Structure 1
Amino acid sequence: MPQNKVILGSEEWFSFPDLGIPTIKARVDSGAKTSALHAINIAPFIKDGNNWVKFDINPIQNDLKTIIHCEAPLVDKRIVKSSSGYREQRYVIQTTLDIGTTSWIIEMTLTNRDSMGFRMLLGREAMSGRVLVDPEQLFLLGHETSDKLSEIYQNAVIPSSGLRVGLLASNPELYSNKRIMEAGEMRGHEMHFLNIKECYMKLDATKPEIHYRGGKILNQFDAVIPRIRPSITFYGCALTRQFEALKVFCLNSSTAITQSRDKLFSLQLLLNHGIEIPTTGFANSPLDTDDLIKMVGGPPLIVKLLEGTQGKGVVLAETKKAAESVINAFKSLNANILVQEFIKEANGKDLRLFVIDGKVVAAIQREALPGEFRANIHLGGTASVIKPTSEEKKIAIRAAKAMDLKVAGVDIIRSSKGPLLLEVNSSPGLEGIEGATNKDIAGEMIKAIEKQFKQK
């Protein structure tokens, strides 16, 4: 056996001095070609004329409060197939790996490994010619205890800013809500989940109050993040107004949320700000059905219930007879509807641009599954990263500003007339866009709150 090779077990603790990572537990896997490191908030940049990438890492499994900010030379972008068969494009960095008393330069891909058992995977490319693996052994180079880890990383924890933040929502188990709670805690804030249905209020000119679960008074909150289901918009916005009366900063205001939920009003507001939408008609009387269909260019066309949410209450009418039947059926039920032109060239695709505090922080393209109906609006399917045009970015930013929303999911469709705005969502979901882009959108929302208090 060569004496100059390091013998490793199947699990070991390594360090990366150039990244500022003093120790991290890794899976040693000779079956994997490429090494991988857990990373979030990944962003490429130029340093001294060279390509670099910066990213954050939670080096300890199941510990989101310990975070290290890293940067490293960027050597490549590579398509990597995971053990589950999923293919994704990853940034590849080059950095120094310390193993015991020896070290050498290795390449690693950056990816979110929150769902994996280890923050790092050491692949055979990094081990070639230098390492022998005894798969029956663990921690041949030493094991770090929990107390030792706490001591090592005590300076890596982001200091608390002292903000007390409430998340006003309905379901604490929802991905978006869990991520926002985690992101706030990771940045040192005191986070509280406030179930909308368990809040009630006291209207008083001199001493307004919000109570929770049997009488607890909700006071001394610095900020509230309203994430209100469409079905409880009225009550959720009433609570948000009450927090505003208590001088609590609300990431999206009650007025902005209310007007975003009124489809007709929001479209009129956007048009008044010069933002193009698909040609849309609105009428009250069934006697106007024929002209309403002509108004939007004839069939095929889309019929949307004003009270519909998340793609529900949306019908594609492919012929004039079908359009008349659908429109008159809705009107016989006294339902308010919009009639909208169908953008055939979009081919079942739309864009979701996520705007936070006046900036587009992420964008994806969404495409329907084969055979799935999509009426100019996302109903499911697949999501992929896309680079929006400067015009699409400007539209998204202007739309969020027109609606007075600090956080907005702006849906855009590409047409032969150029980009058209479909809808502005005041409580956009995070799962699809975080999963596709590998960006910490929840963290950006928390940063927007921090910025507000820094300005104060």
Structure 2
Amino acid sequence: MSQNKVIIGSEEWCSFPDLGIPYVKARIDSGAKTSAIHASNIVPFTKNNENWVKFDVHPLQNNTKLTKHCEAKLVDKRIVKSSSGYREQRFVIQTEVNIGKSNWKIELTLANRDSMGFRMLLGREAMIGKLVVDPEEKYLLGQPTFDEIKSSYQVIKEAKTGLRIAVLASNPELYSNRRIMEAGEARGHEMEFLNIKECYMKLDATKPEIHYRGGRVLDNFDAVIPRIRPSMTFYGCALTRQFESMKVFALNSAAAITQSRDKLFSLQLLLQNGVDIPTTGFANSPLDTNDLIQMVGGTPLIVKLLEGTQGKGVVLAETKKAAESVINAFKSLNANILVQEFIKEANGKDLRLFVVDGKVVAAMQREAAPGEFRANIHMGGTASVVRVTAEEKRIAIKAAKAMDLKVAGVDIIRSSKGPLLLEVNSSPGLEGIEGATHKDIAGEMIKAIEKNFKIK
């Protein structure tokens, strides 16, 4: 072992003088090749005929009021697989890092690390020849006080708007829910997470109420953001309706969520509003199987359970015999199914357009990993930024409007007939699209609420 190497623990504080970042806590991870820092509001630009990027850093976990505005020369763009399995394109910069008494240049990827325990990750490329890790120790090179950290940063104080906003959901640790809570707090609102299962209601003509576990009456919220998982649709929508009866503004109404979750009804609504979908058939009797197959153009075709969620209950039938077997098997279980044409030319790709308050605020392309089945549905795989057409934006906005949703994830597939709509999601996840696009979508959702209350 070289005598010049510095011994560090599994967690250390470091700084980036060139970026004006005096303190940020880093997770030391020799299993990761590249180092990464949490960055938001990432915007590439040109400076002296060179490619640069500007971004904001919130150096303390769960604190979006401490911030640093940074800019650096862009050295690369790379596809990186995050710990959550998404493959995303990240900007790469080179900058000086200071750890203890040592300084040297390292490469940093700019990433959304809101779901991670550390704002900074130091990978093995940055450590080679300089550092040795003792995983049993922490902060061997010193630990600053909170006052030292705080005094080194500009504290951003947003105007206090005083709204009390509830996030009605099931899991407070879910990335999307945490991001919405943080975004609301950063804009000066009082945020509270309400677990759907811990709420119960009093139906009364003159004084409807919602109580929380222990008997607390929830009677002082200005707005509620329903984030209802499919298995909780019935009760979650009942609670949302109750909030609405109490004159609480719901970012997505119960009626809009309910109709968007009814696959057959939602497709009929979309068609009535001039939104094209893959040719789809629906029948109740197994005796109609052959005609149902021909109705959508024959095989290969997709069979979807109406009650299926998040890509589950979806089968690709490549032959007529396979299609008959699958359809009749579902029918024998009294299951309601849709039969839909298979869009082969999409080649395993679809688009997710995120609509907030009648505007497309972000878009990404999703592509199945090699060998994975992707049949007119959204599944795991690679997420990347994509340039969508004006027609695709128009369809997404029109679809959200048809569902009466202020917030919607609209899934579109590109076909030889043009863009076709697959599905409209009333509680779309934020992690994949914020990670791929580096856009503050949670903040856009909070702004939509502010607009309702005419807060600037």
Band the TM-score falls in, shorter-chain normalisation: 0.7 to 0.9
Contact 2:68 2:153 survives alignment (8 Å): no
What is the CA–CA distance in structure 2 between the aligned matches of 1:431 and 1:400, rounded to whole Å? 20
Correspondence for 2:180: 180
Correspondence for 2:385: 386
Consecutive unaligned residues of structure 1, counting only runs of 5 or more, are 1-7, 126-131
Partner-residue secondary structure (3-state), 1:193: strand
Shift of 1:264: 1.1
What is the CA–CA distance in structure 2 between the aligned matches of 1:305 and 1:228, rounded to whole Å? 20
What is the CA–CA distance in structure 2 between the aligned matches of 1:341 and 1:392, rounded to whole Å? 20
Correspondence for 1:264: 264
User: Cα deviation per residue 1:178-202 (whole Å; 9 max; x = unaligned)?
Assistant: 3323333344432222111221112
- Quick one: structure 1 residues 292 and 26, their matched pair in 2 at CA, closer, same or farther if it must change by over 3 Å? closer
Correspondence for 1:78: 77
User: Cα deviation per residue 1:21-41 (whole Å; 9 max; x = unaligned)?
Assistant: 565567999xx9998643123
Correspondence for 1:307: 307
What is the CA–CA distance in structure 2 between the aligned matches of 1:438 and 1:420, rounded to whole Å? 26
Alignment of 1:371-450 (within 5 A): 371-378=371-378, 380-390=379-389, 391-450=391-450
What is the CA–CA distance in structure 2 between the aligned matches of 1:76 and 1:99, rounded to whole Å? 22
Correspondence for 2:335: 335
Alignment of 1:122-271 (within 5 A): 144-153=144-153, 155-271=155-271
Q: What letter corresponds to residue 323 of structure 1 in structure 2?
A: A
What is the CA–CA distance in structure 2 between the aligned matches of 1:236 and 1:396, rounded to whole Å? 25
Contact 2:384 2:436 survives alignment (8 Å): yes
Contact 2:66 2:150 survives alignment (8 Å): no
What is the CA–CA distance in structure 2 between the aligned matches of 1:159 and 1:9, rounded to whole Å? 45
Partner-residue secondary structure (3-state), 2:310: coil
Q: CA RMSD in A?
A: 4.1
- Quick one: structure 1 residues 181 and 268, their matched pair in 2 at CA, closer, same or farther if it must change by over 3 Å? same
What is the CA–CA distance in structure 1 between the aligned matches of 2:23 and 2:289, rounded to whole Å? 69
Contact 1:78 1:92 survives alignment (8 Å): yes
- Quick one: structure 1 residues 108 and 299, their matched pair in 2 at CA, closer, same or farther if it must change by over 3 Å? closer
Correspondence for 1:59: 59
Deviates more, 1:307-316 or 1:50-59: 50-59
What is the CA–CA distance in structure 2 between the aligned matches of 1:83 and 1:311, rounded to whole Å? 22
- Quick one: structure 1 residues 54 and 358, their matched pair in 2 at CA, closer, same or farther if it must change by over 3 Å? farther
- Quick one: structure 1 residues 156 and 416, their matched pair in 2 at CA, closer, same or farther if it must change by over 3 Å? same
User: Cα deviation per residue 1:254-278 (whole Å; 9 max; x = unaligned)?
Assistant: 1110110111111111112221110
- Quick one: structure 1 residues 340 and 89, their matched pair in 2 at CA, closer, same or farther if it must change by over 3 Å? closer
- Quick one: structure 1 residues 234 and 24, their matched pair in 2 at CA, closer, same or farther if it must change by over 3 Å? closer
- Quick one: structure 1 residues 373 and 162, their matched pair in 2 at CA, closer, same or farther if it must change by over 3 Å? same
Contact 1:280 1:339 survives alignment (8 Å): yes
Consecutive unaligned residues of structure 2, counting only runs of 5 or more, are 1-5
Contact 1:184 1:191 survives alignment (8 Å): yes
Correspondence for 2:42: 42
Contact 2:434 2:440 survives alignment (8 Å): yes
What is the CA–CA distance in structure 1 between the aligned matches of 2:371 and 2:98, rounded to whole Å? 52
What is the CA–CA distance in structure 1 between the aligned matches of 2:399 and 2:70, rounded to whole Å? 34
Shift of 1:221: 0.6
What is the CA–CA distance in structure 1 between the aligned matches of 2:151 and 2:217, rounded to whole Å? 38
Correspondence for 2:3: none
Shift of 1:377: 0.6
Shift of 1:226: 0.4
- Residue 346 in 1 paired to residue 343 in 2? no
Aligned sequence identity (%): 71
What's the TM-score once normalised by structure 2's chain length? 0.80
Which structure is larger by alpha-carbon Rg, 1 or 2? 1
Q: What letter corresponds to residue 335 of structure 1 in structure 2?
A: A
Corresponding residue pairs, total: 443
Alignment of 1:357-368 (within 5 A): 357-368=357-368
Contact 2:14 2:98 survives alignment (8 Å): no
